[in-house]
Structure 1
Amino acid sequence: MDCKPMSTPMETNLHKLKETAADSELADSTLYRQMIGSLMYLVNTRPNICYATNALGQFMCEPKQLHLVAAKHILRYLRGTIGLGLKYDNVDLNLHGYTNSDWARSVVDRKSTSRCCSSLGSAMISWCSQKRSSVA
């Protein structure tokens, strides 16, 4: 029986992005870092871009042209969905907490990512996602 962890489509795309970027030319690192910083700020109100922003943030040391194009794609997505938002109801005020760890499922560097979130009623009041510093 094969015990390899299955990769999700997003992880597969991240792996492809890393492989494809090897042939791409370098992008303007200052512009790229400003874009990723702005997207990280927006993640507080638009959690739907969290994974993509995190994935592109891993290439801030040597951004390639391909990474810059992907960051611009996120900005175009945000422009097209500017009228969308999160709706929080205050009917049920129970506190819920959830945690998860993926145990080295990243196909890029084999490091684990731990995640947690807390909600009060229907409102997400905190969340975190942290890549571990060592390989599991």
Structure 2
Amino acid sequence: MAGEKEHPLDQVRQICTAFPTVTERLSHGTPTWFVNGRTFVQLWPDGHHRDEFPHLWCAAAPGAQQELVATDSRTFFRPPYVGHRGWVGVRLDRGIDWAEVAELCEDAYRAVAPARLLAQLDAGSTPGSGIRD
């Protein structure tokens, strides 16, 4: 229906599957995206443990987690289990900008993907283009 928001799973799937050689499967009971067998994004549509709100966990470059949390701690947080490795949690219940989510997912992909796939990504179009708000 026109005007309805897509489910976060549909949005995140659209973003992540645009990257080269990405696979999706359940991991720890939740949708997870992989490149070369390595996790780069995990979606918790109904929350996880104490974080009872829809959110993502994204791989991140060194220092990105601290910068994002310092900039906007209402949206970004240090997730359990993977936060110590620099991953960033992203709340999806705060009127999130899906173009920003696409950038975060691309950054996560870049943090995990091998150089040959990054070259393939750089040779193609921007994965976040066409993402609807």
TM-score interval w.r.t. the shorter chain? under 0.3
User: Larger C-alpha radius of gyration, 1 or 2?
Assistant: 1
TM superposition score normalised by structure 2: 0.24
More helix by share: 1
Which one scores higher on RCO, CA 8 angstroms, separation ≥ 6? 2
